[in-house]
Amino acid sequence: MNGHIIQTVYIVDDDAAVRDSIAELVASVGMRAEPYSSGQAFLDAYGPKHPCCLVLDVRMPEMSGLVLQQRLQARGATLPVIVLTGHGDVPMAVDAMKAGAVDFLQKPYREQALLDSINTALAIDSRCSSLSETQDQLARCVSTLTPREREIFDHLLSGKTSKQMATALDISPRTAEVHRRNVLRKCEVDSTKALLSLLGPTIQAASQDNA
C-alpha cells in the first residue's frame, strides 16, 4: 500500500439497495465501504478508525439514526455523520444536524452531491485527528517539564524573548535560553515559531470551546 491510508465510509441503512448503491459509489472512487443494516449492528462492530465518516439513514426500525448518533456521542466517538432522509423526514434530519451531523441529503440523492459531502466529512475527520494528535504531543511535552521550564513555556506562549523571560523570572538571559532550548527539545520542535505553530490550532479550538 506504500503507506497510503484508505479512507473508510461506514454506511448504515436498513434498505439493502441503498447500502449496495452507496458502497459501489464509494468503492468507485477508491474508498473503503463498510455497510451495516442497522444501528445496533454498526455499534457492535465499530471501532475508532481514521480517516472515516458515517453515511446514516435517519429513519430505521428499532434504532433511528438520531438515537445512533446519541449512542456514538455517549461513547465519545467523533466521526463526522452525513444523514440521509426521505422527503417526510426533514424535521428528523434537522434534529440530527443539531446533534452534530455535518450534512443531510434527501433521497433520492445525486451521486456527486453525496461524494462531495463525504469528502467534506473526511476532511473534517482528518483535521480533528490531527488536532487530537497535536494535543497528545503537547500533553506529553508539558508532563515532562520542570516547574521552571513550565514557567518558560508559559512565557513562550505570550511571545516573550529569552531576555524578557530572564527579566520576568529574575534569572540570567543565558539561563533562560538554556531552559527555552530544553522546552523546545521536550516538545519535539526546533524553534519557538514551530512551537507556536503547533499550539495554534489547539489554542483556536480551546477558544471556540469557551465561546
Residue, of 100 and 81, whose pLDDT is higher = 81
The per-residue pLDDT for range 146-201, each reduced to its tens digit, is 999 999 988 888 888 889 999 999 999 999 999 999 998 888 888 888 877 766 54
Lowest mean pLDDT among 17-21, 109-113, 135-139, 188-192: 135-139
- How many alpha carbons fall within 13 Å on the CB side of residue 63? 17
CA distances from 186 to 86, 139, 161, 180 (A): 53, 11, 19, 10
Determine the pLDDT at residue 3: 47
Residue 28 buriedness (CB in 10 A; 0-12 / 13-18 / 19+): exposed
The rounded percent of the chain whose pLDDT value lies above 70 is: 85
Segment among 61-70, 108-117, 200-209 with least mean pLDDT: 200-209
Q: Name all domains of the chain by residue range, CATH numbers in brackets.
A: 8-129 (3.40.50.2300), 145-205 (1.10.10.10)
Tell me what pLDDT residue 69 has.
92
Residue 190 has what DSSP assignment? S
Residue in this structure with the C-alpha cell 535560553, named with its chain if needed: 177
| 88 Rama sector, left if φ>0, alpha if ψ -120 to 50, beta otherwise | alpha
- Contact (CB, 8 A) for 57 and 84: yes
Predicted pLDDT of residue 96: 81
Q: What is the pLDDT averaged over residues 57-83?
A: 90
On whether the CB atoms of residues 8 and 51 are closer than 8 A, the answer is: yes
Q: What is the mean pLDDT of residues 18-36?
A: 95
Confidence of residue 203 (pLDDT cuts 50, 70, 90): very low
Tens digits of per-residue pLDDT, 97-127? Answer: 888 888 989 888 999 999 999 999 998 887 7
